[in-house]
Every structure is written in C-alpha cells, then in structure tokens.
C-alpha cells in the first residue's frame, strides 16, 4: 500500500526541523543565554536598549536572516527570523524591535522599495540599524483607513503633518517608516495610503515618550509631524497604494509577535518546572501535586500548538502562499498561550513569583501587550469570523 511504503521512504518529515534550523536555534540560544533575563531587566529599568545583545545578534547575521543576500542578509525567510526571535525571548529577552525593524520594515522595503532604497537601507538593517514603524494614531486606532497624518506634495518632495502614538523604539532608531494618507477613508472603506522613510531627527518631528507600565528596553513615543519635509526619493512604492504595501508587512508582524509570545511562554514554563521540581512544602516537590502540575502541562500543550501554527504560518509566507489566516490564528493562539504560561509560572512560584529576583512578573506587561498589539485579539477574531467562517462583518 502506498501509505505504508511511504513510512519507510525518505519523504521529508513535515513536523521536524531541518538540521540547519536546529543549528540556528542552538546558536541564538547560546548567544542570548550569555545575557539572560537579568541583563534584560537591568536594561529595561535603566533606559538601556539591549544594544549589546542586539549587536551580537547582528554581528552573527541573525537580524538580517530574512534580508536578501545581495543586500547584506542571509537570504532566508520569516521562519528563520521568527526562530531567532523566539529563541531570544525564550532566554528571557523578548526584543520587540525584531517585530518592527527586520520583520515589518525590511519586508516592505524589500518588496516595495526602489533599488536605491534597497541599496541604502537593507544592508544597514541587516547590520543592526533599527527602523521604527508608525501607523497607529489617536483618532484612528484599529481602523487604519481613518488615519489623518497627511503627505502633501511639495515640489519634488512631500510635507508630512499629523500625530502618531505608541510608536516603539523611535528613540533608538535612525529612521521611521511612516504611513500617511492621501485620500479615501472610512466612507469609501479604503484609504489611499502612502509610506515614507523619515529621519527620526528631521526638523519638525517632535518625539514625546509615553510613560508605560511595561518593563522593556523599547520605549513608546508620540510623534508630532509639523510640516516635516521628506524628499520624494523616500516615498516607498507608489503614492496612494500604501495599503497593499502595509499588508505585505502585516503577516511577518503577526508571526514575529507570536514568536515573542511563545518565547516568553517557554522561558516562564522552564523556570516554573525547575521550581516545581525543587520546592517542597509538604515533604515532596510541589510539582507532585496535580494542582501545580496540570496547569503547567496545559501551558505546555497550548504553547506547542501555538508554535506549530506559527511555523505553518511562517512556512506559508516563505512559500509565497497566503498566510493571512494562519498568521492571525498563530498570533492569537501564541498571545493567549504565552500569557497563560507566564501566569501559571508566577502561580507556581507562590509569593516568589512576584519578586524581581525570580524574573517573571516584570514580563507581564510585555506578554499582556501581545494580546493587544500589534493587532488586537478582537480584530483577529473579526478576521477569522469573517474570512474563515464567512460570517457578516460587524464594523
Ligand atoms: C507598547 C505598545 C507598542 C506599540 N508599538 C507600535 C508601533 O511600533 N507602531 C505602531 O504603529 N503602533 C504601535 N502600537 C499600537 C498598537 O498597534 C495598537 O495599540 C493596537 O493595534 C490597538 O489599537 P488601539 O490602541 O488604537 O485600540 P482601539 O482601536 O481604540 O481599540 C480599543 C479596543 O476596542 C477593540 N476594538 C476596536 N475595533 C473593534 C471591532 N471592530 N470589533 C471588536 N473590537 C474592536 C480593540 O480590540 C481594543 O480592545 C503599540 C502599542 C503599544 C501599547
């Protein structure tokens, strides 16, 4: 029978990683483990930027794994970038800017940038330069068709005016990829958007840090654009066609978001299991009690399921197949699984779970953020209800 003979053949094993991917994960794990969560905590508290870790990852080419070889990257895919991000997070160092700089910005520039933009920016990103991404606005929120930041043609360039908020890592980025509006809107249901690469120190661009309850090296900013002049050469892709270009970056964004959640979950679960094996309060390790062991087992199952879906999403994306549904589902599942694993690890540690020394509770803000951003749980459920289940759109 064909199915029996297949078992003994050399057919690829779809659920096992290649030796190359395992090596990549091992190498990243070793690098990130040298820093570890204590380093991340210190950087987060003291306005550090995890720069030493970021630099070491970029020196080994890990921040440019998805960037084409001719532009200084490794020419691999989002699968490899997600693996790097997950392994770093699994050592207690979730790097939010991996989701922004190499995942969103490098992907959009690779696909839609001019040759000059690719030559100028991709080698820099591969070498570890950071680029922020600005789409969110106070008056538009999840409805990007409603954004109000305008780009007005002015001679050979443009003038940008408007406000963006919750823009991560602007303080440590040389450039920010800004989404502006040139027409359309909520009446038509489709905005005409245009994307620009803007210098973060451009005259007329003001940055204000937003106080946050998230302990992370990347800080958030409100950006005010007051007639910021941008050369025409900084327009990415065609004016007014930015919606399509933004969509190119959304699937990598969701996949990378999922990888960070899975990494945080793995980190928390590892710590919880070590603790549950060692801590004894009734004469035996607390992990003996099913009240402690079962939630950890559930967390393990949920994390593995999310990881599987995320690997599927990344594989589809790298094969240039439609990864929209899978990346949304992976992002949803991973955010929930990561939070659940962290909560469970905190509970397993009793009072120690809330102490800085145990390196768990400070990750709550980051893990919780990933339920809301880069796309909220509700917007994912809207997507699945509408596109996967064929239910009517409610908004
Ligand atoms: C720490 C942090 C970092 C961020 N970094 C960046 C960044 O680098 N760049 C950037 O551009 N943005 C960034 N963001 C913004 C982030 O992407 C948004 O906060 C997120 O997409 C949600 O949008 P909102 O805050 O406007 O919420 P809103 O759109 O105001 O939504 C509020 C609530 O209503 C729900 N809701 C809205 N519409 C619907 C609907 N139709 N059906 C059901 N529920 C709905 C939402 O799910 C949410 O729960 C960041 C945010 C944070 C907190």
pLDDT of residue 182: 79
Ligand 1 geometric centre to CA of 376 (Å)? 6
Question: SS3 of 47, please?
Answer: coil
Q: Which atom of ligand 1 is nearest to the CA of 136?
A: 11
pLDDT of residue 2: 44
Is there an atom of ligand 1 within 6 Å of 133 CB? yes
Question: SS3 of 215, please?
Answer: coil
Best CA proximity match to 86, nearest among 267, 323, 339 = 267
The dihedral through the CA atoms of 209, 211, 213, 216 has a sign that is positive
pLDDT of residue 183: 66
200 phi and psi angles, rounded to 5 deg = -75, -15
pTM for this entry: 0.96
pLDDT of residue 1: 39
Is there an atom of ligand 1 within 6 Å of 378 CB? yes
pLDDT of residue 118: 98
Is there an atom of ligand 1 within 6 Å of 170 CB? no
Q: Which atom of ligand 1 is nearest to the CA of 134?
A: 11
Best CA proximity match to 324, nearest among 379, 261, 259 = 379
Is there an atom of ligand 1 within 6 Å of 332 CB? no
Is there an atom of ligand 1 within 6 Å of 379 CB? yes
Protein residue closest via CA to atom 41 of ligand 1: 395
Protein residue closest via CA to atom 2 of ligand 1: 166
Spatial contact of 191 and 185, defined as CB atoms under 8 Å apart? yes
Q: Which atom of ligand 1 is nearest to the CA of 164?
A: 11
30 phi and psi angles, rounded to 5 deg = -65, -40
> Per residue in 225-270, pLDDT tens?
999 999 999 999 999 999 888 989 999 999 999 999 999 999 999 9
Please list the ranges in the chain whose pLDDT falls under 70.
1-13, 183-189
∠ CA 21-23-27, nearest 5°, is 120
């Amino acid at each position: 029978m064909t199915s029996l003979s297949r078992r003994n053949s050399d057919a690829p094993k779809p659920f096992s990683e290649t030796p190359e991917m395992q090596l990549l994960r091992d190498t990243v794990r070793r690098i990130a483990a040298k820093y570890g969560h204590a380093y991340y905590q210190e950087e987060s508290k003291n306005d550090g930027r995890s720069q030493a870790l970021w630099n070491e990852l970029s020196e080994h080419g890990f921040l440019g794994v998805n960037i084409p070889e001719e532009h200084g990257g490794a020419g691999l895919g989002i699968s490899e970038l997600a693996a790097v991000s997950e392994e770093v997070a699994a050592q207690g160092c979730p790097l939010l800017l991996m989701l922004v700089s190499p995942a969103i910005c490098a992907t959009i520039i690779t696909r839609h940038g001019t040759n000059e933009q690719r030559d100028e920016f991709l080698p820099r990103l591969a070498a570890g330069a950071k680029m922020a991404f600005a789409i969110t606005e106070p008056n538009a929120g999840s409805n990007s068709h409603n954004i109000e930041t305008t780009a007005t043609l002015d001679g050979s360039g443009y003038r940008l005016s408007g406000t963006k908020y919750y823009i991560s890592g602007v303080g440590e980025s040389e450039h920010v990829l800004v989404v502006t509006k040139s027409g359309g809107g909520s009446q038509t249901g489709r905005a005409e958007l245009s994307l620009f690469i803007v210098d973060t120190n451009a005259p007329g661009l003001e940055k204000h840090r937003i106080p946050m309850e998230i302990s992370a090296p990347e800080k958030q900013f409100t950006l005010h654009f007051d007639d910021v002049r941008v050369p025409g050469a900084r327009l990415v892709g065609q004016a007014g066609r930015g919606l399509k270009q933004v969509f190119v970056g959304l699937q990598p964004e969701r996949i990378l978001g999922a990888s960070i959640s899975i990494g945080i979950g793995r980190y928390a679960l590892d710590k919880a299991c070590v603790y549950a094996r060692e801590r004894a309060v009734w004469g035996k390790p607390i992990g003996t009690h099913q009240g402690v062991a079962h939630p950890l087992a559930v967390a393990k199952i949920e994390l593995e399921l999310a990881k599987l879906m995320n690997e599927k999403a990344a594989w589809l994306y790298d094969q240039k197949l439609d990864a929209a549904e899978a990346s949304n589902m992976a992002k949803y599942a991973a955010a929930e699984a990561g939070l659940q694993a962290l909560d469970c690890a905190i509970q397993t540690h009793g009072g120690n779970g809330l102490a800085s020394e145990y390196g768990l509770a400070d990750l709550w803000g980051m893990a919780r953020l990933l339920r809301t951003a880069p796309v909220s749980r509700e917007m994912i459920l809207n997507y699945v209800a509408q596109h996967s289940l064929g239910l009517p759109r409610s908004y």
